[in-house]
Amino acid sequence: MKRVAEKSRPKRVATTLHAMIKQRGIPEWVRQIVRETCIEYGVPMVRVLGACRRAEVCLARYAAIYRVKHIRRRASAKKIGEWFGRDHTSVFFALARHAEITGRPSLTRYALVSCANPKRRPKPRKIR
């Protein structure tokens, strides 16, 4: 049997909370914020750090990301995204969405654009 090189092996997806924390290298202060937010919103921590897209879980995730950024303004969106298993653009969206929902000041210059507004939709082009 041939041995597969270390670099070519696919990265395993963590499914348990302990594995997620270990794999992502989440600091203790971030874990504490996520834990408190999960208790406040009544959702499991594994769901907030996982891929769940239910509304109540997303709201808790947005709040946790906002609180992390509020405490550490110098933390990059890329690093916060790594901790939460998200892309940096998802972090920007979470910050803007949480600020919009709660009325708190936005911690980013990212602007939410609603597709439901008919004025923002591009007009259909005429085919010649």
Render pLDDT for 3-59 as a digit per residue (tens, 0 to 9): 555 555 555 666 788 988 899 999 999 999 999 999 999 999 999 999 999 999 999
Nearest to 65, CA basis, from 110, 95, 100: 95
- What CATH number is given for 11-102 in this structure? 1.10.1750.10
Tens digit of pLDDT for each residue in 73-115? Answer: 999 999 999 999 999 999 999 999 999 999 999 888 888 775 5
Domain ranges of the chain: 11-102
Nearest to 39, CA basis, from 14, 64, 19: 64
Residue 109 one-letter amino acid = R
